[in-house]
Chains A and B, each alone.
Chain A
Amino acid sequence: MTQDEYLFRFDALQEIINIGGGNAATSLSKLIERKVEMEVPTLEIMDYDQIYQEIRKEDEVVKAVLMNIVGDREYGVFLFVANPVNAEKLAQMITPTEVELTVELIDSAVNEIVNIIVHSFMTAIMKIIDIKMVSSVPIMAEDMFGSIISSVYMEQEQYDQQILIIKNEYYSLGHKIEGSLYFVPRPGVLELLLQQLGL
């Protein structure tokens, strides 16, 4: 592959992630009835040390929600990551004020939010690439970021020291509420997406 072809494919992938992510931001915004902003998607090969320095420290405790994406084959997973305080704020926004929030309620509200944004992400992508995909029910964990991210990549058979980080970063109310949505593909899935686009 020439440098130009490589860059072209890279741009195409970033555009897909941008469209999916933008759609997800819109549905999140409707859900919480507030403006939601999204940064330019990250599409970058990084090693773990770099991830822990530049994205999030490995011992930072996070709430993470995972959804498996399947169809004719396993495509990978979406992983939503937020710090527990932000997750609680998100949950509050979609819960009637008179309801007292328990841990179970917070978790189920966050799961539902992730369910909705992942669906809108996928719907947007499926329109472009014409592949049928469905998602599994969301699964939540609260643990160290390092434990979560390394295990998720490993489970998707991404065994390299250097991994491709595909991530959308959302924020609302200035930067008071932030969350990240990762897509971790199985090997060969990105190539398949590009093929569908004729690239």
Chain B
Amino acid sequence: MAGVDWEKAYHDLEAHIENIMRETSELVNNASPKLRLNKIFIEKENTLNVIIDATGDKMEYAIDLIDRKGKIETIKTGYGKSNTFNFDIPSGRYTIRAYAKEEKTNARVYDNKSVNYKKVTGDE
């Protein structure tokens, strides 16, 4: 039984490898990043400011702001292009549920963060 000519086959395959690498590089460079929510940034001023940091392709953002004592009704912002939200709310303990979704696929991620908000007024 004759054997496989591995050397000949290898040289042919080697001619492929550079192309495989180049095209894989194109694929990776053009690929949409995987959707993920990186961090929720909070700034406590005279408003509660929330910034959603997320990675993905053409994203929209939304927040549900839940008063943990139920004094004010939950605020649902709905999805929009901006990742920054300002809430003029009384001091209190809140849960922030931050969402990011991709416009094209409707894929969605979210995360929760608790905040003890004390309104900072101009007099302070």
Q: Do A and B come from one complex?
A: no
